[in-house]
Amino acid sequence: MYFMTVNYPVTAGKSFNQQYYLNNHLPLVQSLFSKHGLSAMSPKLALGYAPGKPDAFYASVDLIFDSLESLKLALKAEGKKVNADVKNYTDVEPSYIFGEIAD
């Protein structure tokens, strides 16, 4: 199994529409990527470095794929469509983390 995590850091002067992200963008990601090996998604909201501290990220999502090859195929086939939707909910520059899932 292989994962891609997309993080949206809290950034001064930037906006993030949480409702659009949850109700439109994530379902779009699931519908497009699931046919290419997306097996699970784990969205998280209002992430911080410690309980009670200010949020460090508006949101984060773990996208779990069957394999690295599945992830590559999904990004190649559907990545442009997914990225084109980002402007509808944020002007934040996301950061990415990739890796294998330990058994």
Query: In the chain, how many domains are there?
Result: 1
Reduced to 3 states, what is the DSSP secondary structure of residue 23?
Answer: helix
At residue 19, the pLDDT reads 97
Q: What does the pLDDT look like over 8-26, one tens digit per residue?
A: 999 999 999 999 999 999 9
CA separation for the pair 9, 94 (Å, rounded): 7
Q: Is the pLDDT score of 5 beyond 90?
A: yes
CATH number at residue 85: 3.30.70.100
At residue 46, the pLDDT reads 85
Q: Lay out the sheet containing 38-48: strands in order across.
A: 38-48, 55-65, 2-9, 95-100
At residue 49, the pLDDT reads 87
At residue 54, the pLDDT reads 87
At residue 100, the pLDDT reads 96
Which residue segment(s) compose the domain that 39 sits in? Answer: 2-100
Q: What does the pLDDT look like over 50-93, one tens digit per residue?
A: 888 889 999 999 999 999 999 999 999 999 999 999 999 999 99
